[in-house]
Amino acid sequence: MRIPLFDYERHRIIMESNFTFSGKDYLFFPEGVNYYHLYRSSRKLNSFAELAYVAEKFIYLNPDFDIDKMKSLFFAISDRESGHIVRTYTQSRVDEMVDRVVGERMTPFCPRLRKVIFNPSRYLSKEDKNSVVAKLIHTKEKPSEDDIDDVIQELWLNKEKITIRRVSKELDTTFYLVRWYFTTERLEDIRIINQKMKRESMIARAIEIIDELTDNGNKLKMRKLKQLSSIRDYKLLKEAVSRYHLDG
């Protein structure tokens, strides 16, 4: 599921890396190529660092975009009422971040190179796309350790649960062709990573609720936070409160 972070038609925003297809349905890059986009999954942005990363991709894809308009757009999505982020940030902080990102103009980090880029103006079913990818990069052969590492890193960056089936799905291969990678030691490491991501997700949810409860200077009541978040771990709630104040 891809949810656009901006009204790209209204503001004429380039939302993803641009490629020249010359009438083709897809392009193939054997060595892989950087690919950036300004969409999110069903998961909301849950930190100011993630918002800044979106800004890095935005100015990379739209280098001549009006800076004042960019500040306005980022201030809009930095409000939790936009539905894109778990808490609200001040305009001064967002403006400062945009000025910094525009001034630095860094090439954004890319978690995984894309080998196949499909033409967005051509319709291909998911099955057709999977067939093209399988044919071009031989995903039915055993993936390399680097391929699996890249997928695990991307899932971790997106704060998505890491499982063998999920990794095999991302690589468009079978469970059995990636099972060899997951030794007992690696499975234990991944179990710990998943636990940490689950904890971070709960903290993000608590922070979103804290932001709502403290609107207009209202005093935070831990009992109300516990009730609305359905989180029973008091230490976790205290951590959320501490991060909320540090990130504010």
In tens, the pLDDT along 8-67 reads 999 999 999 999 999 999 999 988 899 999 999 888 998 899 999 999 999 999 999 999
CA distance 191 to 208: 26
Chain CA centroid to CA 26, Å? 24
Q: What percent of the chain has pLDDT over 90?
A: 48
| CB neighbour list of residue 64: distance below 8 Å, 6 or more residues apart | none
Around Cβ 246, how many Cβ atoms within 10 Å? 7
Crossing angle for the helix pair 48-61 and 67-77, to the nearest 10 degrees? 150
Please tell me what DSSP assigns to residue 114. Answer: E
User: In the numeric block, which tokens belong to residue 209?
Assistant: 């609720």
Answer for the pair 39, 4: CB distance below 8 angstroms, yes or no. yes
When mean pLDDT is compared across 46-50, 89-93, 100-104, 134-138, the lowest value belongs to 134-138
Q: What letter represents residue 158's amino acid?
A: N
Answer for the pair 157, 59: CB distance below 8 angstroms, yes or no. no
Torsion of CA 69, 73, 78, 84, to 10 degrees: -170
**Most confident of the following: 91-100, 124-133, 157-166, 171-180:** 91-100
When mean pLDDT is compared across 74-78, 82-86, 121-125, the lowest value belongs to 121-125
Beta strand 114-118 with 26-33 is antiparallel
